[in-house]
Structure formats: structure tokens, C-alpha cells
Structure 1
Amino acid sequence: MHDIRAIRENPAAFDAALARRGDAAVSSEVLALDEARRAKIQAAEEAQAAQNKAAKAIGAAKAKGDEEEFERLRSEVAGKKAEVAALQTEAKELDAKLTDMLARLPNNPAEDVPDGADEDDNVEVNRWGTPAEFDFTAKEHFEITGVATAMDFETAAKVSGSRFVFLKGAVARIHRALAQFMIDTHVDENGLTEVNSPVLVRDEAMYGTDKLPKFGEDSYQTTNGWWLVPTSEVPLTYSVAEDVLDASALPIRMTSHTLCFRSEAGSAGRDTSGMLRQHQFEKVEMVSVTHPDESDAEQKRMLRCAEGLLEKLGVPYRTVILCTGDMGFGARRTYDIEAWLPGQNAYREISSVSTTGDFQARRMNARFRPEGGGKPEFVHTLNGSGLAVGRCLIAVLENGQQADGSVKLPEALAPYLGGKLTLTAEGALA
């Protein structure tokens, strides 16, 4: 959510920020609505003052026995009361329109975010590892012999439809091992607090984390009103809604492993083969709530947490900073980590690490009390994948594939797989 005061003070800068995202200028429309709202509020206050003055005069008129003045004043009070109610209703309607308008406008990009139209204008900032050279044609994850029978899309389609998968046997265990490895690393090495969070949330939580009202079609809603989380960013971030935290409690660093649900609206025809893009998937999420002065450093810290996981797994990756045209709605700055997938001969996104500044905090009214005293200020919120479990499974399988259809698994998973680090061509762990 944007600060209306900042728009009033510098509408040109606000429009310039929108222009960097490719959006039209709207400050004049926003300010016209704001001016009309404030005019109604002022008129209501003036009418209320007149009502109060007349109400006080009624007693004096009655004491004097001035029946004519008494009736006039009583009529005036009734009229002013109706006028106040009407003006307050109009002000509330204008306020709702203004809030809805602001809620649909994207966050302002940070100054260091590169300008651009789409993913082709993203800028690489880091690269780690060297993609392996195979003496055979690399296969996609679902084509690898040891994987194919354990990654059952036909049964999932019978049960749930397209973009679902049944993982079986050793492949299901590897998937589970990856999630445990991620959580343990975040807790034991990265200093995050593990949270077992809900996957059903209220409208307020989706709104507060900028998923509503604009992107409702991208998520699933139950018949009794709850939303299935698109990521545990929603419950973790919203956990501080309406709070006034002590500055000494910051930063708050959380991680959660949950099921995630996305309708993939607008992605028809994209990544339909395999399990790269699913309606239901698992992710280990990182969320930080910080002091405004620390949020940029926290984003870099979170980025290293996610990159470190891939390094432990031996998966080559590159990190890019997203340009203004490719950045998410609520983000102020986003880094994407893209893992190397030999089967596609391409780097594909496996994590996004974003700072939203105070954009979400304003929607949630999440604040902190400065150490030196003074008025509470809005916290900054950050979120990042650490990592998408299914996509990490794809990367591990494709990078470890062997000519005979088996897969060599990363040493980092040994504690979670009973020391067995080979997925055989027959689909067993050995």
C-alpha cells in the first residue's frame, strides 16, 4: 500500500516510479479522489460542529420558555444530524474507493533496480558452478529411467486433473529429504525459526500480503471463504499484522515448509511437461521482518541462505536482479536464483528473494516502537524461497543423471537417505 502523503508531496515522483514499471500515470486521479474525500470529511466535521452548537442552544431556549426558538433549533439539529450522516457515508465511500485504487497499484521499484520490459532485461549478478558435460544426451527429469515410473502424471490426472503428480518410492523419499535438508540448514546454520504454519488463511491475510484484490484469480478459495496459500509467505508475514513490536525484537526470521497452491492463471501452454509448474507443490519459505534501515542487508543475507543450499547440493546456478518490467507486484527489489537444468539446457527459476519495504506493512498495519521513543514506524518485510522443493528435486535429478538411467545424489542428502546416494535405473536407492 502506498502512503497517500508521499503522493501528495511529490506526485511527479510517484508517476515516474509507475512509468518505470510500464504503468500509466495516476497521481492526478488519486489526488482528485483524495481531495474529494477530505472535503467530505471537513464538511462532515463542520456540520457536526453546527449540530453540537445548536444542541447546546436548545437547553437555553427551553429554559427561557421560547417555544418557537426551541422548535427551530430542534429542527436544525435533526437536519444537521442527517447531513452529518450523509456526509460521513459519502466520505467512507470515497475512502473505500481511494483505498481500493491504492491497493491495486504496484510497489515503487528501488533506485538500483534496472529498467526493462521483461525477463530479457534482467541483469546477472552472480554465477556459481560449471554445468556438467555429459557424453550422452541429457534427459529431462521425467524421462530419466530411474525416475520415470516413480513420477506418475497419469494417475494424478485421473484423481485431480492436469498439473498434478504422484511421486512414489525412492523419488518421493528424495523429495522429502530435500525439504528436511532445507529446513535443517535454515534452522541450524542460517538462524531462522521454524514455523509450522496454516495453509488456509483469511481474506485479511491475503490482502495484507498484497495477493488481494488484484490477484485473486491466481489462488484457490474454498467454498467457506478460506484461501489456500500460494506460499507460506502469507501466514508468516501476516503473523505480525496489527502488532507494534519492540525495536529490540527485530529482525524476526522465520521459515516454514508447506504445501502451496496456485491456479497458474494465464500460464496455459507453459511448462506442461513434467513437474516444473504444478497447481500443488511444496516450498520452504523464508520471511524476515526488519527495521527499515536493515532491510537491504537482510535481503542479501536471505539471498545467500538460498544460494548456499544449491551450493551444498552441487547444483550450478546463476542469480539475476529482476528488471522493473519483470518484478512482482509487491516487490521493491527481487533477485531470482536460476538452477541449471541439463534436460532443458537452460537456467530456470528456483527461488525469488524480494524486499517489499513497508508496502505490505502498511496494508497490515505492522509497526515497531523506535528504541529512542517516538511514534511507531512501519516495519519492512521480506520473503524468499529457500527453496521450491519440487524444482530442487528436478535440478538434483537432472544434474546427477547417468548414462545408464541412474542418478547420483548429493552428499548433503546422505543423512536423510540412510547414506544411500544412488537412485538406480530400477528406481531404488542404493
Structure 2
Amino acid sequence: MAPLKSWLKVDSSSHFSLHNLPFGIISTTANPDRHPAVAIGDQVLDLSVFTAGNGFSALSIIQPHQAVFFRPTLNDFAALGRPMHRVVREYLQSVLLEDSPFHGVLKENSSLRHNSILSQKDCHMHMPMQITDYTDFYAGLHHAYNVGVLFRGPQNALQPNYKHLPVGYHGRAGSVVVSGTPIRRPNGQILTDPAVKEPTLSACRKLDMELELGCFVCKPSKMGDPVRIDDAADHLFGIVLMNDWSARDIQAWEYVPLGPFNSKNFGTTISPWVVLMDALEPFASTGLHNDMETLPYLDEKGKKTHFDINLSVNLNTESGSSSTICKTTATNLLFSFPQMLAHHTVGGCPFNVGDLLGSGTISGESKSQKGCLLEQSENGKISITLEDGQERIFLEDGDTITIGGVCGGEQGSLVGFGECSGKILPAIQLET
């Protein structure tokens, strides 16, 4: 697609091109209250200042709802629905366009332009949404197969239900944090000697990361009412990068028979900018082929509801070295977010605005595409050599994991997500 050019200076390599305009929540020294903004290049358009300065004067449809741009989260804006998201984003694109039909809105040397266009480095980022519920799925086919091989062998790697439905578990909404928030190594019960079935209370010794995407819900559903697969996309607001931190040794002991608990609830990191579904439409894909015919309530009839997002994971050590430990793509998901929502609601489970769906770990087929250290180290059997010669099996205190993601390859029209980053802090010393 031909790049859109803004009158603002935007580097052609920026992931926040005019084709993107992701929404987030910022605060500044001048305005310490949390409020919405959109990212453009290395700058932001402060939507509270823009709105207060009558920036939406040429968009009559949003004017009765302008209070949403003074809220501390994006929930109220999200609740306006996808048609409104589309209109607002397209209007802001037009205002920022080089040959803008709305030159008078942010005219050169105006106080509104001066006060509403800010440098990203002068903004503090916050959680974009208030999350009431969070469900993490297991839709990465290669990840599920690789982990299954480790624990059950190649003949029984995938459970019989895997290709029939999006497997998931309910996560902990209260421990979802924005990028840059440190993550404390958890304590929990682990088996130090697998031959002796007596656990020890210990700091996690197999701390892992998981490369994922998260998707926010913008349209609620009533308890008892399933969301039809044909309607599910209308319930989705936008996508963020996500790291569902995992304590593999705690998980190994606790997950039978009800699945993950303390091994997953201590921290989940998301990127601060929400890339709207409409910004991702040019990169729509069919995802992985499912050789199992799904039941009709999950049948998307060939619709492109996955997205070709190039993903990467960097591990930065306390000593300052940086190593790219994974590169893969979001097309390695077997089930889409609309399918996850349709399945989640088929029994009547209600959804609220701001609920979060996680994709599950996204891995490709090769070692360099594996989205967690459990896979890369084969559960501790082999080590990973970093750029400076250090080795890792699982994460050490002081390590920082940074996930990145971007759509497109043409300079000037990239649609990216920013960073999803977290540093590991030592575990709390418990009395024994």
C-alpha cells in the first residue's frame, strides 16, 4: 500500500506510521491525570488537549461522546463500537495528513498544535484498559506440539481435543501490568527431586517467558447469550503484545488436575499501545490450516481473521548485552481471536468491555522460532548461548525480556506495537 505522508516529521522506519495511530493512556508533567492519546512517529497526539481545543469540530458524530477522551482508560472509547473507532481513527489520519482536508484544525503555529503534539519521551505510559477478566488460550499449534513432545512423546503430543476447540484457562486480571513494570520471581511449591513426591517451598528455578498477543473486547455480551462466529469480530477492539510469564517448575507440580494456578498468576505484561483492528485489516491472513473440521459454531468459512505480524523476543542481561532469542509470526496460530470469543461464550459466559484474551505462546517450526525457553531448552536439557557468550536455560534475576511486533515491510507504512518489556527481580526471601 502507498505510504500516507504526514505534515509531522515521521521517520519512514517508524512502527507508528500514519497507517497505524494506536491508542494508549498517557500522563505528563503538565497533565498528570491519565488520559488518551494516539502515537504518531516518536510523538503523540494528546486527545484530551485536542478535544478541549475543539479538535473534533469537523467530526459531528463523535461530539456527543467527547468525554471519552478525558477518561483514565480507553474502556469508554472502546465501548462506542468498531464503527466509531473507524471514523475517529480515519478523521485523525486526515487531520495529520500532509494534504489534509482539515488544515484549520491543527494549523501551523497554533496553540492547539503546540500543546497537543508531544514527544513520546515526555509521556508516561499506563495500562490502556481496565481489565475485569482475562483468559489465556493455547492456540499456537507448534508450541502445543513441541511441549507435548517433551512430556508425552511425538505420538501423543497433541491432546484429542486440541484441533477441535481453542483450549484456554482463566488468568488473573489483577496481575496484568503495562510494559516496563518489573516482575518479581515467584515463590511456590516445587519438586526438587522428581523421584520423591514431597514438594519444597522455594523461589522458582525455571522462570520462563511466553511470546503472545492479547486482544481487548469492546462490545459486551449477556450472560446466557453466545456470540455467533459471524458477529465475533465486532466485539474486538484491538491487539497488544503480551508476555505471560510462567514458572515452569511450579506449574509442573500444581497443574494436575485443574491446570495452571500460581505458576501463571504472578505477572502478565502487555504493551501500552492498542493497535485497532481496522489498522490490522490490510495484514489479514488465514493463519495455519486446521486439518480437523471444526463444529459449525467455530467455522469462519475461510475468512481472514489472523494477522501477519512479525514478532521478535530480545533478552537483555544485567551486564548490558542484548540477544534476539526468537523471531516468528502470528500466522502460527491455529485459532483466531473471533473463534476464541465464540468458543468462550458458547456456554453463555458473559463478556465485558475491557476483557482480555491471550493467544497462547506463538512458535514456529524451527528452533529460532520457538516462543518460550521451555521449548528452546527442551525443559532444561540444553542451554541457549547469548551474544556475549553467556548461557541461559531459563531466566535469571536481572534479565529483561522485550517483545516487539510489526506488520508490513514497506517503509513509511509500518504498523507496529512498540515494546512489551519486563525485568526480573529477585524473589522475596520467605521464612522457612
Q: TM-score, normalised by structure 2?
A: 0.23
Q: TM-score, normalised by structure 1?
A: 0.23
RCO higher in 1 or 2 (8 Å CA, sep ≥ 6)?
Answer: 2
